[in-house]
Homo-oligomer: A and B are copies of this chain.
Amino acid sequence: MNFNHFDDHGNAIMVDVSGKQETLRTATAAAEVHMSDKVLAAIQNSAIAKGDVLGVARLAGIMAAKRTPDLIPLSHPLSLHSVAVEFEQDSAAGKIEVQCTVRAFERTGVEMEAMTGAAVAALTIYDMCKGSDKSISIGDIRLLYKEGGKSGVYRREVGQ
C-alpha cells in the first residue's frame, strides 16, 4: 500500500494535479456532538430565544472550510463554489448531527474541506457549551458522500 502524499523517497509532497481536468466535485462529511439532555435542550431553546449556538457553529464551519489549505499541510488551495452546514438534533440519542457539503469545479476533490467544515462546526458547539458541560464529545467525523473526478461516486453505507 502506498500513500500518494509521499514521493518515491518517502518525502511529503503536494500531489501534482496540474494535468487533471476541472470537473464538478461534491463532498459531504458529518460529525456528531454528544451531550447531556440538559445541554441539548438548552441549544434547542437557544435558537428561538437567547443565543443561537448553531448559528455561530454554522458560520464557523463555513469559514473553516475556506481555511482548509492553511490547516491541512498537503491539501491544495481550491476555489470553493458552495459551502453549506446543516444540523439535526436527535434528542433520543443525545446528540446533534452536523453535515457539511462543499462543491467546487476543480481539479481535485473537496473531501477535506467538507471534513474540516464539519469538524470545526462541531468544535464550535463544544466551545459554546463547555462552560456547562466539559464532558461533551465529538464523534464519528466521516465522509458521507463524494462525487466527481475519476474515482466516481462514493457513498458511505449506513452503519459503516
Contact = CB atoms under 8 A, between A and B. Distances in A.
A130 B64 CA distance: 20
B82 A79 contact: no
Interface in A103-137: 103-105, 107, 111-112, 115-116, 119-120, 122-124, 126-132, 134-137
A140 B26 CA distance: 26
A87 to B, nearest CB: 9
A-side interface mostly: mixed
Interface of A: 1-18, 24, 31, 38-39, 41-42, 46, 49-53, 55-56, 58-60, 62-64, 66-67, 69-86, 103-105, 107, 111-112, 115-116, 119-120, 122-124, 126-132, 134-143, 146, 154, 156, 160
